[in-house]
Amino acid sequence: MLFATVSRGRKTGKRLVPHLFQDNRYRVQLGKQGPYIPVADYREIPSYLANGYSLHMSDKAGKQTPSLIRPQSVRGWSIDPRDLFFPTR
């Protein structure tokens, strides 16, 4: 499960998850100014993160506006495919 934790502001400690937009897709983006790429399958997101794309994330209740989170701040994925499919920890 992919998640991030808010590190600053009054919502410090709040857990963020990938935001599902109204078109039932997630969005990844290469930089703040770049166009976004819609991702239909949740399982494809780690491959975009491994290539440097940022992910739109929000709280689970969906009350927060989606934030663009850098791949270094997203937890629950790894560049090493052995960690994804054959966890040893």
- State pLDDT tens for residues 5-53: 998 888 888 999 999 999 999 999 998 888 999 999 999 999 999 999 9
| pLDDT tens, position by position, 43-60 | 999 999 999 999 999 988
- What are the residues whose beta carbons fall under 8 Å from the beta carbon of 26, sequence distance 6 or more? 18, 19, 20, 38, 39, 40, 42, 45, 55, 56
Q: How far is residue 2's CA from residue 45's CA, in Å, rounded to a whole number?
A: 9
Domain ranges of the chain: 4-75
pTM of the predicted protein model: 0.82
